[in-house]
Copies of this chain bind each other. A is one copy, B any other.
Amino acid sequence: MSNFRKIFPLLDWAPTYSKSDVVSDLVAAIIVTIMLVPQSLAYAMLAGLPPYVGLYASILPLVAYTFFGTSRTLAVGPVAVVSLMTAAAVSQVALQGSPEYLTAAITLSFISGLLLIVMSFLRLGFLANFLSHPVISGFITASGVLIATSQLKHILGIKAEGDTLPHMLQQVYLQLNQFNIYTLIVGGAALVFLFWVRKNLKPLLLKFGTAPRPADLIAKAGPVVAIVLSIGAVVLFDLQSKGLKIVGSIPAGLPPFALPSFDAQLWLQLLGPAVLISLVGFVESVSVAQTLASKRRQRIDANQELIGLGTANLAAAISGGYPVTGGFARSVVNFDAGAETPMAGAFTAVGILLTTLLLTPLFKYLPQAVLAATIIVAVLSLVDLPSIKRTFVYSKSDFSAMAVTIVLVLLVGVETGIVAGVGLSMLLFLWRASRPHIAIVGQVPGTEHFRNINRHSVITHPALLSLRVDESLYFANARYLEDRIYDCVASHPKLENVVLVCSAINIIDASALESLEAIAHRLSAAGVGFHLSEVKGPVMDGLKRSDFFDHFKGQIFLSQFEAAHVLTGATT
């Protein structure tokens, strides 16, 4: 594949784009549009922004991803977790509802876009690998709980504020008596209806003979029904004059051309959150894209995905939107509805654009409580308790990172939670890497094999110590190896020779080289010989390039058998 093709994955499918592809993509686009409109409005509200900003974030970003993304079926746009993170970040620097708040959200999107593109050029996509599954999973579960709780106030029609779970619950509890009955009826009805649609509509449709796929898609259009019905109810009963909060006037017309702020102070404040949003969004997006691509044996280029998501975020920033990424639910809908190429995304963008141009007057009367109900039903599916249990059973170390993430997200905040979780899992990783498995080996009787003395009955010799390190040697474990060897020497008074079996060593870095020299030097000072066996070719080349052999007085043996034979004078 040429470089040009790599940068424009579009060139892979555009030349063979057929009429049947157009039809498939159009159908998928219509279905995704219907699903995306209420979601976009709702998630923008979750991010603390006017709902229509969610529509803006669902037009140009989709077009950008069509050009630069490698997934054929990923649907980008506002998603729940990133919206929550946006709210957390932006409310640190601006007051919700102020023009500065929107500017900060736009700027956050711009910085995230730039970061993703820079990460692509520096090939830093691997950084996302350090958000381990348990941390991501714990983070998403805790975010789901936090988001659902944050929407309670909209269902109740009260003014509870707060960033953390205890604070939110306390506020809801204190103001519970001030609830608005109309809001509660509309919001509660929407909640019950949406849960019913999610749980029972599909089985019902199947029972009445609908094919499984359309049944699934109809069930996913539930929010649209709720929206239409609730708008009707508001207009009919003039509910907004009775204290029910509605979305209100939406500026008609095209998304405005916007520019992020270039205030250095603001950039500095948003940089940390932008890094987290970029990484979390990237991980979420790529894992969705990969799941779908592998079903059709297609390929995702993670590095090019950084470009795709980066340009999507830049596109969001210049069209009055906020940070976007690939969403799970809508991508699956897109895939199931038969999308064949990223053109489905471009068609969806047209669908949202038409909605923005023509249908916004309708949304004026949409109750915020219904959007809140949409959010609650959507995010509760993020809460994954079985995964917590599985992790607990499988690995206490992984579970501790997960638990720290969950507890801190709920009690302190999303950013603290994910940073602490990643930090802890890296610390545990480094700790593990710093103490590799080191076995004292002896000869299996009657063979030339050497095995761990703790697992096999083997022949050893009091004057010879053979150590096998099951890991490459680098700075993280070099001193551990030194310690282990000095301990062994101190506890084996009859020792005359130490052999390091290097069969599992692929790299010896400069720190480990110094350690090997120190070991050789110190053992020699203590009158003990130090030798190597089974050194791999590339490692040997490296040692020869250094001045290691200028000082090394020991021998290098091709096999451990030879080493034992020569050093003990044994004849077995």
Q: Which residues of A contact B (CB under 8 A)?
A: 126, 128-134, 286, 290-291, 293-300, 302, 390-391, 393-395, 397-399, 402, 425-426, 429-435, 437, 470, 474-480, 482-483, 486-487, 489-490, 504, 506-507, 509-511, 513-515, 518, 522-523, 525-526, 542, 545-547
Q: A486 with B299: in contact, given A291-B522, A511-B134, A546-B393 (CB under 8 Å)?
A: yes
One complex includes copies of this chain to the number of 2
What residues on B are CB-neighbors of A433 within 8 Å?
429, 433
Cβ–Cβ < 8 Å partners of A295 in chain B:
522, 525-526
Closest 6 pairs (CB-CB, A-B): A132-B475, A294-B522, A398-B510, A133-B511, A132-B511, A133-B514
By the criterion CB–CB under 8 Å, are A429 and B129 in contact? no
Apart from A395-B509, A395-B542, A425-B475, what are 11 other A-B pairs with CB-CB below 8 Å?
A126-B431, A130-B430, A132-B474, A291-B518, A295-B526, A299-B486, A394-B546, A395-B510, A398-B510, A432-B474, A432-B507
User: A482 vs B291: C-alpha distance in the bound complex, in angstroms?
Assistant: 11
Q: B290 touching A129 by the CB < 8 A rule?
A: no
Determine whether the beta carbon of A489 is less than 8 Å from that of B297.
Answer: yes
Contact of A480 among B126, B298, B480 (CB under 8 A): B126
User: Which residues does chain B contribute within 8 Å of A523, judged by CB atoms?
Assistant: 294
How far apart are A68's CB and chain B's nearest CB, in angstroms?
Answer: 19
**What is the minimal beta-carbon distance from A130 to any residue of chain B, in angstroms?**
6
Can you list 8 A-B contacts with CB-CB less than 8 angstroms, sorted by A residue number?
A: A129-B479, A130-B476, A291-B518, A302-B483, A395-B509, A397-B509, A398-B511, A437-B506
- A294-B522 Cα distance, complex, nearest whole Å: 6
Min CB–CB distance A150 → chain B (angstroms): 28
Residues on B with C-beta less than 8 A from A479 are 128-129, 286
Chain B residues contacting A504 (CB-CB under 8 Å) are 504
A486 and B290 within 8 A (CB): yes
**Most central of A131, A476, A478, A511 by chain B CB within 10 Å:** A511
The complex places the Cα of A490 from the Cα of B477 at a distance, in Å, of 37
**Contact assessment for B429 and A475 in the assembled complex, using a CB-CB cutoff below 8 Å:** yes
- Give the shortest distance, in Å, between A557 (CB) and chain B (any CB): 22
Q: How far is the CA of A298 from the CA of B526 in the complex (A)?
A: 10
Q: Which residues in B have their C-beta under 8 angstroms from that of A482?
A: 290
Kindly list chain B residues whose C-beta atoms are within 8 Å of the C-beta of A296: 526
Query: Does B475 contact A294, Cβ atoms closer than 8 Å?
Result: no
Supposing A302-B483, A542-B394 touch, asked if A434 and B129 sit within 8 A by C-beta, the answer is yes
A477 to B133, CA, bound (A): 12
Verify B545–A129 contact, CB threshold 8 A.
no
Q: Which of A286, A398, A437, A480 gathers the greatest number of chain B CB atoms within 10 Å?
A: A398
Contacting pair B133 A294 (CB below 8 A) = no
Contact indicator A486/B293 (Cβ below 8 Å): yes
Q: A470-B506, A547-B390 are in contact. Are A526 and B475 (CB under 8 A)?
A: no
Minimal beta-carbon separation of A393 from chain B (angstroms): 6
Select one of B302, B432, B545 contacting A394, CB under 8 A.
Answer: B545
CA distance A286 to B482 in the complex (A): 12
- A513–B132 CA distance with the chains assembled, in angstroms: 11
Contact of B510 with A477 in the complex, beta carbons under 8 Å: no
Chain B residues with Cβ below 8 Å from A431 are 126
In the complex, A511→B478 CA distance in Å?
A: 27
Q: How far is the CB of A296 from chain B (nearest CB, A)?
A: 8
In the assembled complex, which residues on chain B have CB atoms less than 8 Å from the CB atom of A547? 390
Contacts of A526 in B (CB 8 A): 294-297
Q: How far is the CB of A338 from chain B (nearest CB, A)?
A: 17
Question: A176 to chain B: closest CB distance in Å?
Answer: 38
Residue of B nearest to A542 (CB): B394
Q: Is there contact, CB below 8 Å, between B478 and A510?
A: no
Contacts of A437 in B (CB 8 A): 506
Residues on the B chain within 8 Å of A545, using CB: 393-394
A551 to chain B, nearest CB (A): 12
Q: Interface centre among A390, A431, A475, by most B CB within 10 Å? A: A475
Chain B residues whose CB sits within 8 angstroms of the CB of A487 once the complex forms: 299
A511–B401 alpha-carbon span in the complex (Å): 12
Q: How far is the CA of A83 from the CA of B299 in the complex (A)?
A: 56
Q: Is the CB of A298 within 8 A of B510?
A: no
